[in-house]
A = this chain, B = another copy of it.
Amino acid sequence: MRRTFHSGLDEISGALVEMSHQVGEMMDRATAALLDADVTGAERVISQDAAVDDLYRRTEERAYDLLARHQPVAGDLRTIVTSLNGVADLERMGDLAVHVAKITRLRYPRSAVPGELTGTMREMGRVASRIAAKTSQVLAGDDPDARVTLAREIAVDDDAMDALHRRLFVVLLDGSWPHGVEAAIDITLLGRFYERFADHAVSVAERVVYLVTGERPEAPKGRHGAHVEVT
């Protein structure tokens, strides 16, 4: 029974790593499609989400099944609970990549991103990619210190994402935005999607660190609640 239980835990842990790879790849592809106004690439991201949702569902079921059939001790229990929270965040990250792809599809054959913001959006995509890769490493790793270090790096990357997000608003609001309301809405939503993608990754990493070190990350507002002021 212990063997079954631990192989169940390993399966869940593997699913989390796999989901983090998939949503990272989805956001990479969504960014590329956005910048190239590539509707085929965007469609591919949208299709890819079904596999992530399916993995989410199966992993959640697996976790509930383990809870129902075994009486895991406290540490294992906390692992399962952390995993349940983690899959929900990762599923949401996949949705956010889909949201980016849908804006690309909606504006095709035009680009949703005006020339002067291409650089900023590309950089937001790069930061998202880095954050997703580090989140995978946090999930796959087994050295607590390395995981803590990675989680701190993710927090720094998240600050960089927030700074890029603010930069979008500076451009939108400098008084000479020539692209109209529709483009402003697209950029506002895109900025929000990348920022939330990063926030969910921070949340996954912080919970894993809490699990392995017992050290509680900072207040929920500090990270997850951050609203970039529209100044």
Contact = CB atoms under 8 A, between A and B. Distances in A.
Interface string A126-164: 000000000000000000000000000000000000000
B91 A88 contact: no
Given A71-B71, A74-B68, A85-B88, A95 B224 contact: yes
A54 to B, nearest CB: 9
A123 B220 CA distance: 29
B220 A91 contact: yes
Given A56-B220, A68-B74, A98 B185 contact: no
B224 A92 contact: yes
A201 interface: no
Contacts of A230: 103, 106, 182, 185-186, 189
Interface string A50-66: 00010011000000100
A219 interface: yes
B81 A67 contact: yes
A74 B70 CA distance: 8
Contacts of A229: 102, 106
A86 B157 CA distance: 28
A145 to B, nearest CB: 23
Interface stretch (A5-13, A19-27, A114-122, A169-177): A169-177
Interface string A84-106: 11001001100100110011001
Interface residues of A, number: 47
A231 interface: yes
Interface in A36-80: 49, 53, 56-57, 64, 67-69, 71, 73-74, 77-78, 80
Contacts of A78: 64, 67-68
A67 B185 CA distance: 45
Give the 4 A-B residue pairs with the shortest CB-CB distance, closest first: A95-B225, A68-B74, A188-B188, A99-B227
Contacts of A77: 67-68, 77
Given A78-B64, A106-B229, A185 B188 contact: yes
Please indicate which of the listed interface residues A73, A77, A98 has the most CB atoms of chain B within 10 Å of its own CB.
A77
